[in-house]
Amino acid sequence: MRMWPRSLLKIRRLKSTDMKLYDVPRGSYIILKEDTSVPPVHRELKEREVLKFHRIDGAYSYCVDSEGNTVHPAAWSEVEIVD
């Protein structure tokens, strides 16, 4: 089951500026720009994977992938916001 609008499946950049995940507004869709830290029991993140950012939770964040799975990239990760 697809949870996101079809328009997000075609990745469009909102801005070319890099920003840290802790500066991203809640509810934004993001792409990680670099390999990032994840908790040890976490799955590996796919390259150019689109995530929905919810909040920062300590050193990591609370995000959701397109299948509804929880993902926890590091709060200091470099990201792009997608439109």
Q: Where are the beta strands (DSSP E) in the chain?
A: 19-20, 29-32, 50-57, 60-64, 70-71, 78-82
CA atoms within 13 A on the CB side of 68: 3
For 12-66, the pLDDT digits (tens) are 554 555 789 999 999 999 998 876 766 666 677 777 889 999 999 899 899 999 9
H or E segment to which residue 8 belongs: helix 6-9
Tell me the residue type at 20: K
**Is residue 13 helix, strand or coil?**
strand
The rounded distance, in Å, linking the Cα atoms of 15 and 73 is 21
Domains of the chain listed by start with CATH number? 6-82 (2.30.30.30)
